[in-house]
Structure formats: C-alpha cells, structure tokens
Chain A
Amino acid sequence: MKRKQSRLWSIIMAGGVATTLLFLLGFGLAVADIIAPASIPFTEKPESQAPIVEPERSEQEINIVSLGDSLTRGTGDETGQGYVRRAVAQLSKEQTKPVKLVNNLAINGQRADQLAERLKQQSVGNTLKQANVIFLTIGGNDLFQSARDDQMSNNPLNAESLKVKVEKGTTDAIRVLKQIREWNESALIVYVGLYNPFSDLKEMHQDGNEVVQQWNDTMFNEINKDANMIMIPTQDLFERNIGKYLSSDHFHPNGIGYEAIATRVVQSIK
C-alpha cells in the first residue's frame, strides 16, 4: 500500500511539473502571438486570393438556389416555409428527379442595389454555380420600404416619387439579373414579379397598380431577352385577394398566399 502510494505521488508530481512547463510554453506562445501577430513559428499569412472552387453541377437532380428579399425568405408564412420550400415540395411530387434546395440566400428587407453588391462575392457565386434553377424576388423593398414609412408619417404616397423609385430600382434589378447570369450561364432563372400590397386602399389602388405594372413591364422586357429566364406574375393573383392572401403585416403573403405563388411557379417550370 505504502509503495503504491509513493509511486502514485511521484507520477502526479512529475505530471504536474511536465504539464505546468507545457502550458507555460503554450501561454507564452499565445501571448506572443496575440500581441505580435504571426511572430511565432508554424504560423503563416493566408493567401490574399481565395482559391476558386468549381462546384460540380449535377444534371441528375434539380438543384435550386433562391435569393432576394423577404418574400423568398418566407416572411409572413406562419409555417416559415415561404413559396420556396412550398415550391420545392410541390415540384418533388411532379418530378421524377430528386429536387434539392441548395441554399436560400434571401435576406429580409434586401433592396436590388444591396443584392447587386452581394452578388459580387465569390462565395455567393459558388452557390449559384451549383444551381440549375434559381428563384428570385426583388423590388418590393425598393418600391415600398419608404412608402410604408411615408404612410406612417401621414405623408400620402404620390405617384411621382414612386415612378422615380421604379426607374432606379429596375436599373439595379436588371443589373442583378445580369450578375446572376454571369455566375451561371445555363440555369433557369425564375423571377417572381411584384404585386401591389395596397390595392385594397382607395388612394393606393390606381397609383400603386400603375407603378407595380410599370416595374413588372420593365423587368419583363429584360427577362424576355433571355430564353432561360421566366417571369411569374403575381399582381393578378393578389389584386382581389388582399384580405385572403396577405399576412397581418399587410405587406407579406401568408401561408395561403405563398402556396398560391408556389403553385404558379411549379405550373410554369415543371
């Protein structure tokens, strides 16, 4: 017993001294490296140019990448699926090939100019390269983000200011389409058009519809130039169904509204 104990104590002691020395070394290295970065051995500077990864695109399955604003995100859908996941689910029933949602890159409140900026990133491009179908919604925030604020401040929307926004917004949105095409030259790009969320308000019915139509027309003219781009209209769906299809924020669709959009998307691309 006594011998066993004396062995154990010397093991613990030796271990204590060894670990203390080891950690002193680690501690010293850590302090040196944090105070003077990359000053210690075995460290190196990363290459400034990120390696470009060419992801493989499989033709055996339908790979979907979606990007855009809150509509693609699915804001307002009580199940959180949005039209993207609903369309993926419907499409899997129709298709014999497996349908896969690679990534949903949509960001709430994103405007066309912000998306254009984001599309410059290599990592976003890498994701787009994996797709053979790309879903896109953009423009709602370009047009109506400030419109909602204006309404709050009792400053009635006027058609003139909206028209300026259409011009600026569509220029950015067309840039977005071109950038997506640059990353991926063959995928089917599905652009879901705008609807007027205020068409049930008397003062916004006519002006709002006009502006939305103008936006959609401009986008259609651009999309029409590319045989592998398609535009899904939604204004006609929503015009007389605002109460039924919009969620409580009176801006985003609810689950039924998203389901209706998804059905249309699937009808057009299956």
Chain B
Amino acid sequence: MLALIQNETIKVLKKRRFYVVLLILLILIPVFTYAQMKVAQNSLEKFDQDWRRELTQQITDLQNSLGSDRIPEEWKKFRKIILQQLQYYLDHDVNPKEPNGVTFTRTFMDNSVNLFIPLLVMAIASDIVSSERSTGTIKMLLTRPVRRWKVLMSKWLVLMMFTGVIVFVTALLSYVISGAVFGYGGWTIPLFTGFDISGTSVNYNDVHIVPAWLYVLMQCGLIWFASIVVAALGFMISVLVRSTAASIVTLMATLIAGTILYNMASSWPTAKYLFMINLKLTDYLAGTPTPVDGMTLPFSLAVLSIWAICALFIAFSVFTKQDMMN
C-alpha cells in the first residue's frame, strides 16, 4: 500500500499540477496584498490611522443605507447584523481589522473558502483518475497483481494529503507575503466569535474572545473539511468522466453556480441541501448570516458529509466494476 501511495505521489508531482497551484498562489496573493495596502493607505489618509473613527463612520454609513428603500430586504438584514457586530467591537474597544499579516490571512482565507481553494484542490483532483484513462496508462496499473480498490484508495489518500498541503500552503504564503507589507505580528489580538443570530437581531450571551492564532487554526480546520468534500466530488467526477478537461469544467461550473446561487438562496430554501451552499463553514465562526434561515454548523456538516460519502461510494463502486480497458 505504501508503495502504491509513493507511486501515486510521484505521479502527481510529475504532472506538475501542484507547481501550477503554487505559481497561482505566488502571483495572486501579492496582487491581493497590494490591493489591501491601497485600502489601508486610503483609510490612513482619511482617518489618520484612528480606527475608532473609521469604525464609527462605517457604522453610521451602514445605518444610513438601512433607511434606503432601494436596498433589498435580505441585504438590509445582513447589514443590520454586521452593524451590530461592528458596534460590539467598538463598544469593547477592539479593532476587528488591525492591519497585519494574521488579519490579512484570516480575511483572505474567509474569502477563498467557497471558490478559490476548491479550484486549487480541483486542479489536483480532476485528473487523478481520468488522466490515466485518457493516456491509457490505466491498463498498466490494473494489470498488476493489486486489487482495484487498493489502487483507488491509494489515489484517494494521496489526494487527501495534497488537499491538506494546499490549504496549509495557501495560509502560509498569504501570511508570509502579506506580512512583508503589514508586519508579521497579530497572533494574539482578540477576536469575537459566538454571535448568535436570530432573524435580524444578534444575541451576545455566547460571545467570547478567541486569540487570532486559535481563530486561524479553527478557520483552516473548517476550510480543510470543505476542501476534502470538494476533493471527494472531484474524485468521483474524475472516475466517471474520461477526459480531464470535461471533469474540470463539470466541477468548475458546479462551484461557480454555487456562488451565484448563494446570493439567491434566501428565496429558494431547498437550496440549502446543495453542497455548494454549505461550503462557507467559516461563516459560523465569524457569525455571518447564513444564506438560508435556520442553517447551523451540524446541518452543514451533515449535508457535506452525505455528499462526500455518496461521491466516494459511487467512485469506488464504479471503479471496481467498470470495464476500464476501452
């Protein structure tokens, strides 16, 4: 089994997909860092580095937008909740956006959980089986005296390893690169979590302080779980679809459809059973309102687990029974 895993890892490395992922990160993170630096400079000019003033103005502006009839009700609800959280930070004299490498990493990971990181995972997942079929090397692999499920299992384990590495490398690179601009501190700044949202009001009873390092660790854990689910789906499609391009397009279309649906899900509650709507697990940590009312972390985990288990089940049963030789 270990030999199989070694073999698969070398194959993934040889295909250089992983280096492409690293390259994408090395190009995109500096771009975001630069954009973030511009935002910081702007607020420095307007508020001379006084975050309390900036936050006060942000709260007032949010309150003003609530009065406008042109803003849809769902957005108002969302803004009302964000407003109450910002007010909580202000009242407790904690800066939620203190500029440093850790804050950048936290924001960047929050924003990449439902599309960016899944896309990177897919780059590895989508061709892990299908490429062997399109090049014909699958025959070589399956004529060896090893059981088919073992072959597939080694591929799945390798994919899981790479998923962990990708999430870690994304966080690490965004910390290292943004830290060069914003400084490497900020591991111990306090953050609030546990905002209990019901309707448009926020219940503060369960709010508690989490140091930034623990927050980032929990956040990465949740992102990792979401990525494993995406990897499982990509794995299944890779087994079912012969061409690598087709399997990439299928998953990409699903993920992008998910981000579009995310904004419309409030008027279509059944959408909460789709895996794409549940990928933003970090929202439960930050206390951001869910796209559909009444979604909870256990619910999302259950939905995601069922999708992943079904995907793996289909992948294994098809792979062990299908005629691979054509």
Contact = CB atoms under 8 A, between A and B. Distances in A.
Contacts of A35: 297-298
A47 B94 CA distance: 12
Contacts of B165: 12, 15-16, 19
How would you classify the secondary structure of chain A's contact residues: helix, strand, loop or mixed?
helix
A42 B211 contact: yes
Contacts of B211: 42
A23 B60 contact: no
B218 A104 contact: no
B168 A22 contact: yes
B9 A9 contact: yes
B67 A108 contact: yes
Which of the four size classes fits the interface of chain B?
Answer: 35 or more
Contact of A17 (B60, B161, B208, B214): B161
B90 interface: yes
Contact of B60 (A13, A28, A55, A107): A107
Given A43-B209, A103-B53, A9 B6 contact: yes
Interface in B53-112: 53, 56-57, 59-60, 63-64, 67-68, 87, 90-93
Contacts of B217: 22, 25-26, 29
Given A19-B167, A45-B208, A122-B91, A107 B63 contact: yes
Interface stretch (B138-146, B220-228, B243-251, B261-269): B220-228
Nearest to A51: B93
Interface in A3-53: 5-6, 8-9, 12-13, 15-17, 19-20, 22-31, 33-35, 37-38, 40, 42-47, 50-51, 53
B93 A33 contact: no
Nearest to A15: B165
A6 B90 CA distance: 54
B216 to A, nearest CB: 8
A103 B210 contact: no
B219 interface: yes
A55 B222 CA distance: 39
A8 to B, nearest CB: 6
A43 B57 contact: no
Contacts of A42: 210-211, 214
How would you classify the secondary structure of chain B's contact residues: helix, strand, loop or mixed?
helix
B156 interface: no
B123 interface: no
B153 interface: no
B319 to A, nearest CB: 22
Given A9-B9, A27-B222, A46-B192, A38 B206 contact: yes
A8 B13 contact: yes
A16 B164 contact: yes
Interface string B127-147: 000000000000000000000
Given A17-B161, A20-B161, A42-B210, A26 B64 contact: no
A126 interface: yes
A268 interface: no
Contacts of B52: 53, 55, 123, 126-127
B275 interface: no
B56 A46 contact: no
Top 4 A-B pairs ranked by shortest CB distance?
A16-B161, A26-B221, A27-B221, A30-B218
